[in-house]
Amino acid sequence: MVYFIRKIIFFLLTLWAAATLNFIIPRIQGGDPAQAIVQRIIGSNQAVDPRQIEGIRLMLGVPDDPLLTQYWNYLGAILRGEFGISYSYMPYTVTHMVGEALPWTLVLVGVTQLLSFAIGTLIGTWAAWRRNGAFDSIITTASSFFGTLPFFWIAMIFIYLFAFEYKWFPDGGGFSGEVTTGWNWAFIRSAAYHSVLPALCLMIVGPIGWIMGMRNTMVQTLGEDYTRLARAKGLTNRRIAFMYGARNAILPNVTGFAISLGGMVGGTIFIEQIFNYPGMGQLMFDALGNRDYPLMQAIFLFITVGVLTANFLADMLYGVIDPRVRRGGES
């Protein structure tokens, strides 16, 4: 129980810290982005919607209020889910824009992360079982090379090969223009087809951390006494590999979840931008280009909260499947 309470407290504290960080960043840097933006909007001779100013005031603060009041208003606003008006996508609210983009990224990252874990763990298991064999050497060498390739570079090469040269997959976008968005079969098929190439790019690097982690831990578990006992009992190789070696090696790897997910989210930002994929990464890039600070802030907050939540769930799961952590408190 102590374990779960600790993790819940840590989760709530990190949520609060992320929100506070999001509040502080625009305010510690010199200059005054809020004022500059308000000036720019007013100066550009466009019709100014007072709600635009309100949005900027909410996210960045306008210096007439004391800092503590700003912070209080900010916390209240994010709890109510109010992030103001995006001024590059006027008249849409920031929440609306994020709501449009979020499902795309959630599905893309969710699926590739789970697949990476499954594939990486299997390959790692096989490499550890046949340690120092041909498969192991190839996988270890290939992993250390492919792991160094930048996501955006892989994406560029893949687009060239599979979209322009061979035309197997579309070169970008989330779905084709002919289908209507919604829960219909044609749309889902089109979206799935468009997501293959971006997902493949993530899957080149994605499993590598899991492969190496699994291989190294399982090499250790295979040397343990209980594995030797299993052999002595005459159990089948299959049973020794999966129930004794792999099963005990998976657990320590789950703790690598946060770092791996962070890497995946980072990769998605590049991939979405290159593929013009309608998710959070693409939206973040647009917000950056348009200097749409309220939108950028909200995206940063959503991505961070998403990663924190996923990590929290992984921690909870870890506590459920490994009784040792429950008893020993923080490992």
Cα separation, 309 vs 300, in Å, equals 14
Which residues, 6 or more positions from 151, have their beta carbon under 8 angstroms from its beta carbon?
201, 202, 205, 266, 267, 270, 271
221 scored as a contact of another protein (CB under 8 A): no
* Number of Cβ within a 10 Å radius of residue 6: 14
Q: How far is the CB of 33 from another protein (least distance, A)?
A: 6
Stretch that binds another protein, among 89-97, 188-196, 231-239, 299-307 (CB under 8 A): 299-307
282 scored as a contact of another protein (CB under 8 A): no
Site for another protein in 197-216 (CB under 8 A): 205, 208-209, 212-213, 216
Cα separation, 214 vs 208, in Å, equals 10
Among 307, 318, 322, 325, binds another protein (CB under 8 A): 307
33 scored as a contact of another protein (CB under 8 A): yes
Among 297, 318, 322, 325, binds another protein (CB under 8 A): 297
Spacing of C-alpha 131 from chain mean position: 32
Q: How far is the CB of 161 from another protein (least distance, A)?
A: 10
| Element of type H or E holding 132 | none
145 scored as a contact of another protein (CB under 8 A): yes
Q: Which is nearer to another protein, 141 or 181 (CB)?
A: 141
Among 74, 83, 89, 151, binds another protein (CB under 8 A): 151
Cα separation, 52 vs 58, in Å, equals 10
**Dihedral (C-alpha) 167, 172, 178, 180: value to the nearest 10 degrees?**
140
**Dihedral (C-alpha) 249, 253, 255, 256: value to the nearest 10 degrees?**
170
252 scored as a contact of another protein (CB under 8 A): no
Q: Which is nearer to another protein, 148 or 180 (CB)?
A: 148
174 scored as a contact of another protein (CB under 8 A): no
Instruction: Tell me the one-letter amino acid at 90.
Output: M
Q: Answer yes or no: are the C-beta atoms of 188 and 212 closer than 8 Å.
A: no
Q: Which is nearer to another protein, 10 or 135 (CB)?
A: 10
Stretch that binds another protein, among 42-50, 125-133, 149-157, 237-245 (CB under 8 A): 149-157
4 scored as a contact of another protein (CB under 8 A): no
Site for another protein in 49-68 (CB under 8 A): none
Q: Which is nearer to another protein, 110 or 235 (CB)?
A: 110
Tokens of 132: 């120092």
Question: Cis peptide leading into 103, omega within 30 of 0?
Answer: no
Rg, the chain, Cα only: 24
Q: How far is the CB of 304 from another protein (least distance, A)?
A: 6
SS3 annotation, 51-100: HHHHHHHHHHCCCCCCHHHHHHHHHHHHHCCCCCECCCCCCCEHHHHHHH
Site string for another protein, 91-130 (x = CB under 8 A): ----------------------------------------
Using CB under 8 A, list all residues that contact another protein. Answer: 10, 13-14, 17-18, 21, 25-26, 29-31, 33, 144-145, 147-153, 156-157, 159-160, 164, 205, 208-209, 212-213, 216, 258-263, 265-267, 269-270, 273-274, 284-285, 288-289, 293, 296-297, 299-300, 303-304, 307-308, 311
